[in-house]
Amino acid sequence: MDTLHVALGDRSYPIYIDSGFPSSHLMSASIAGNQVMVVTNETVAPLYLAELLSLLPALKVDHVILPDGEQYKTIATVNQIFDQLLAKQHNRSTTLIALGGGVVGDMVGFAAACYQRGVDFIQIPTTLLAQVDSSVGGKTGVNHPLGKNMIGAFHQPRAVFINVATLKTLAKKELAAGLAEVIKYGLIRDSQFLQWIEGQLNHILQLENSATTRAIRRSCELKAEIVASDEREQGVRAILNLGHTFGHAIEACTGYKEWLHGEGVAVGMLMAADLSARLDYLQQADVGRLKELLLAAALPVKPPAKMAPADFMAYMAVDKKVLDGKIRLVLMQAIGEAFVTDQYSPALLAETLDLFCQS
């Protein structure tokens, strides 16, 4: 078992990476009270719920099974969690456990932040995207028709348990979507990691254990470092959103039903790279290199055909990074060096949007 730590003072917590679920002892050590509410979805429940429940025999355990899909990441769905917590009389010493992908994790974390003004929760992510990104860092929330993750709270988990074996049940599309976030870490912080991903991509796609575990570990290390230095995204943490402003626009415009989050991020990262090149930060060869890697990972490199530049601008205008009416973007000064800025030419942004929205 690999163990990492997110260093946040009294809110610090471990990340455990293994090829199986944790022992009952390790799980129980992360639970303060004697009440547990496991929250999962209708896809994950048949695969792993019974096994997880068997690890918690000495506790009062209830569970909620939610519908599966980004379109259900709403206040209405979170209310289903609250309904069960109240109906089963869970008190403020309860612990919520998120068993599933990023949608489940975000909603459970948000419910934990709100229920009785804050209770503990544990992340058990079952998708690559959740394992390397959304389960770490304490960002929780739900979507709104006008914007992704616009309603939420910062609420750190007590622990993150990553079972690499759960990736074997993922559809190839889901695995590729998670790889977009892995690639992101190389682009924003570690050019050598990006080079390693390029060399090991086929091994990761085949879920070879050593390559997959290393990809997850390094991604979590990089995120833990950034979160520890800027928990509430007042500065450097915003670079974790490379590609997300463009990608969230794609997700919102398609009603959170047609595109996976990682697919939107993939296109968004390429759009950010293109704009970075237009601003003379990156070389065109860097943009081509990223495009080649995304294609090799079976990720999209163009937005939906129905999207126009005006659609991007409308949704980007309600992005969380907008400040004083200015759309701030995460761009790259070089591969491995990202930064946040509102100092770019609107005309060059328009050129990028025009290029990517061509049929």
Please say if the pLDDT value at position 101 is more than 90: yes
Share of the chain above pLDDT 70, in %: 100
**Interatomic CA distance for residues 20 and 37, integer angstroms:** 21
151-169 burial by CB neighbour count: b if 16+ within 10 A, else e?
Answer: ebebbbbbbbbbbbbbbee
Please say if the pLDDT value at position 97 is more than 80: yes
Q: 97, 95, 269: which is closest to 184 by C-alpha? A: 269
* pLDDT of res. 325: 83
Q: Where are the domains of the chain?
A: 2-169, 172-356
**Interatomic CA distance for residues 117 and 101, integer angstroms:** 24
What three-state secondary structure class fits 96? strand
**Interatomic CA distance for residues 229 and 240, integer angstroms:** 13
Place of tokens 């010493």: 93
The arithmetic mean of pLDDT across residues 342-346, rounded, is 94
Contact indicator for 336, 343 with CB cutoff of 8 Å: no
Question: Bridge partners of 4?
Answer: 15
Per-residue pLDDT reduced to its tens digit, 142-186: 999 888 899 999 999 999 999 999 999 999 999 999 999 999 999
* pLDDT of res. 282: 98
**Interatomic CA distance for residues 283 and 276, integer angstroms:** 9
* pLDDT of res. 57: 87
What three-state secondary structure class fits 102? helix
Residues in the chain: 359
Q: 336, 338, 317: which is closest to 272 by C-alpha? A: 338
* pLDDT of res. 81: 98
DSSP 113-145: HHGGG--EEEEEE-SHHIIIIITSS-EEEEEET
* pLDDT of res. 43: 98
Of the pLDDT bands very low, low, confident and very high (cuts 50, 70, 90), residue 83 is very high
Contact indicator for 164, 17 with CB cutoff of 8 Å: yes
* pLDDT of res. 359: 66
Please say if the pLDDT value at position 58 is more than 90: no
**Interatomic CA distance for residues 168 and 161, integer angstroms:** 16
H helix or E strand, kind and range, residue 339: strand 337-341
The arithmetic mean of pLDDT across residues 273-295, rounded, is 98
DSSP 197-239: HHHHHHHHHTT-HHHHHHHHHHHHHHHHHHHHH-TT-SSGGGG
Architecture of domain 172-356: Up-down Bundle (1.20)
Average pLDDT of the chain? 96
Going by C-beta distance under 8 Å and a sequence separation of 6 or more, which residues neighbour residue 40?
48, 49, 63, 64, 65, 66, 98, 99, 100, 104
Q: 88, 98, 84: which is closest to 34 by C-alpha? A: 88
Local structure of residue 47 (DSSP, 8 states): I
* pLDDT of res. 28: 92
Question: Bridge partners of 40?
Answer: 65
Contact indicator for 17, 220 with CB cutoff of 8 Å: yes
Per-residue pLDDT reduced to its tens digit, 109-135: 999 999 999 999 999 999 999 999 999
**CA of residue 280 relative to chain centroid, distance:** 29
* pLDDT of res. 320: 80
Question: Bridge partners of 123?
Answer: 98, 160
Active site residues: 117, 139, 181, 223, 233, 237, 241, 244, 248, 261
- Computed from CA positions of residues 219, 196, 171, 54, in that sequence, does the dihedral angle turn out positive or negative? negative
The CATH code of domain 2-169 reads: 3.40.50.1970
